[in-house]
């Protein structure tokens, strides 16, 4: 809610009345009464982006009328991939007059110009949309549609993206942080054990460990699959037991430069990390097979 401005009125020979007037916000130097903003908002204009408590999702982003806003998994590079008929089902959200509820940071918001020339508001780089099948304020019918549409929340720790990660493959799903930076695992790690990072962190710049504090995740993911380990005194988040990393050479939003068999992306199809003993047995078995092949070739 826009904050009400309480103007101090003085009487010398005449008594002047005080009024709440938004036009005085930028010029007045009188103190702001936050009590009115928090406890008596019925006479104030609604903010263009609100933070609304939802019974299912917790705090979500809505417009000034309480209509839910959404993220699209395919928007990995801060451009809208929802074009043509998609836009009819998922109308864009845009406001030139950005005003925010308490708990939202203006620095997290931006805008893009779409290929069709329309402008669109973004949050942490993700373009914002409505869902045409939301009929009333508070509806969240668009969450989870196609495994690519998710209710817009301010406190996702990770996001679920969809894009091509190699030239040879079709688009695939993978996890990023809340601002679209790609997340990886190291295939030689074992359950809850980082086997890559040096004790002095000398190789951490190449594959930085991810030390996020897990808050919320998109509905396709389960918070129970995430955990935390300690690596040389630092926290590292895990998924299905796999320690998680960034790639140091991913410098732009949406970069997937680190993808390889040794450093794959992470998604819901990622298997549970093997425990150390099983992993060692697997490596030994692979070595035996390789040795047998060498002996065969020797003859």
Alpha helix ranges (H) inside 131-175: none
Average confidence (pLDDT) over 155-178: 94
- pTM here? 0.79
pLDDT the model gives residue 6? 37
pLDDT the model gives residue 81? 98
Residue 40 structure tokens: 């008596």
pLDDT the model gives residue 226? 98
Compute φ and ψ for 161, nearest 5 degrees: -110, 165
Percent of the chain with pLDDT over 70: 78
pLDDT the model gives residue 277? 74
Least confident of 17-21, 94-98, 111-115, 282-286: 17-21
- Place 280 in a pLDDT band, splitting at 50, 70 and 90: low
Cβ atoms within 10 A of the Cβ of 292, count? Answer: 10
Among 254, 259, 219, 252, residue whose Cα is nearest residue 60: 219
Q: Into how many domains does the chain fold?
A: 3
Average confidence (pLDDT) over 151-166: 96
* Dist CA 41 CA 61 (whole Å): 18
Q: Looking at the structure, do residues 105 and 8 belong to the same domain, yes or no? A: no
* Dist CA 236 CA 234 (whole Å): 7
- Place 45 in a pLDDT band, splitting at 50, 70 and 90: low
Q: Looking at the structure, do residues 39 and 57 belong to the same domain, yes or no? A: no
pLDDT the model gives residue 285? 55
Q: Kindly compute the dihedral angle of the four CA atoms of residues 258, 262, 265, 270, in this order, to the nearest 10 degrees.
A: 180
DSSP conformation class of 165: S
Domain that holds residue 89: 50-155
- Place 167 in a pLDDT band, splitting at 50, 70 and 90: confident
Residue 176 structure tokens: 């990023």
Q: Looking at the structure, do residues 148 and 55 belong to the same domain, yes or no? A: yes
Q: Which residue has the higher pLDDT, 1 or 194?
A: 194
pLDDT the model gives residue 281? 57
pLDDT the model gives residue 35? 32
Q: Looking at the structure, do residues 104 and 151 belong to the same domain, yes or no? A: yes
pLDDT the model gives residue 157? 97
Q: Which of 125, 155, 185 is the last residue of a domain?
A: 155
Residues 182, 250: contact at Cβ < 8 Å? yes
Cβ atoms within 10 A of the Cβ of 13, count? Answer: 4
Q: Is pLDDT above 50 for 31?
A: no
Q: Which of 99, 134, 155 is the last residue of a domain?
A: 155
- Place 168 in a pLDDT band, splitting at 50, 70 and 90: confident
Q: From the CA atom positions of the chain, what is the Rg in Å?
A: 25
Within 8 A by CB and 6+ apart from 293, the residues are none
Q: Looking at the structure, do residues 201 and 250 belong to the same domain, yes or no? A: yes
SS3 216: strand
Compute φ and ψ for 92, nearest 5 degrees: -75, 150
Q: Looking at the structure, do residues 297 and 168 belong to the same domain, yes or no? A: yes
pLDDT by residue (tens digit) across 200-236?
A: 999 999 999 999 999 999 999 999 999 999 999 999 9
Average confidence (pLDDT) over 151-174: 94
Q: Looking at the structure, do residues 187 and 296 belong to the same domain, yes or no? A: yes
DSSP conformation class of 148: T
Q: Looking at the structure, do residues 297 and 165 belong to the same domain, yes or no? A: yes
Q: Which of 134, 155, 176 is the last residue of a domain?
A: 155
Q: Which residues, listed in sequence order, are joined to residue 126 by a DSSP beta bridge?
A: 123
Give kind and range of the element (H or E) at residue 123.
strand 119-123
Q: Looking at the structure, do residues 208 and 150 belong to the same domain, yes or no? A: no
Query: How far does CA 258 lie from the centroid of its chain?
Result: 20
Q: Is pLDDT above 60 for 262?
A: yes
Q: Looking at the structure, do residues 296 and 163 belong to the same domain, yes or no? A: yes
Q: Looking at the structure, do residues 191 and 255 belong to the same domain, yes or no? A: yes
Q: Looking at the structure, do residues 190 and 237 belong to the same domain, yes or no? A: yes
Q: Is pLDDT above 80 for 23?
A: no
Average confidence (pLDDT) over 34-48: 50
- Place 287 in a pLDDT band, splitting at 50, 70 and 90: low
């Amino acid at each position: 809610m826009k904050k009400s401005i309480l103007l101090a009125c003085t009487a010398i020979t005449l008594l002047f009345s005080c009024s709440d007037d938004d036009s005085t916000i930028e010029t007045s130097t009188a103190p702001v009464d936050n009590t009115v903003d928090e406890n008596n908002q019925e006479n104030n204009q609604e903010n263009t982006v609100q933070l609304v408590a939802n019974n299912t999702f917790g705090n979500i982003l809505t417009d000034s009328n309480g209509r839910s806003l959404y993220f699209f998994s395919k928007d990995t590079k801060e451009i809208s991939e929802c074009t043509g008929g998609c836009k009819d089902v998922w109308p864009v959200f845009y406001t030139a007059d950005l005003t925010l509820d308490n708990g939202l940071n203006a620095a997290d918001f931006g805008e893009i110009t779409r290929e069709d020339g329309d402008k669109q508001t973004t949050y942490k780089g993700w373009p914002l949309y409505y869902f045409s099948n939301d009929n009333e304020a508070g509806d969240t019918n668009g969450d989870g549609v196609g495994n690519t549409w998710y209710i817009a929340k301010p406190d996702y720790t990770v996001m679920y993206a969809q894009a091509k990660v190699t030239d040879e493959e079709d688009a695939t799903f993978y996890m990023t942080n809340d601002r679209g930076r790609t997340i990886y695992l190291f295939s030689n790690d074992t359950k809850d054990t980082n086997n890559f990072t040096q004790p002095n962190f000398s190789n951490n710049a190449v594959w930085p460990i991810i030390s996020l504090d897990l808050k919320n995740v998109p509905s396709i993911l389960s918070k129970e699959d995430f955990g935390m380990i300690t690596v040389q005194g630092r926290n590292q988040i895990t998924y299905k037991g796999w320690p998680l990393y960034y790639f140091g050479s991913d410098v732009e939003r949406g970069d997937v430069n680190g993808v390889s068999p040794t450093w794959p992306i992470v998604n819901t199809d990622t298997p549970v990390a093997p425990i150390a003993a099983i992993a060692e047995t697997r490596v030994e078995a692979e070595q035996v097979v390789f040795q047998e092949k060498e002996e065969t070739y020797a003859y």
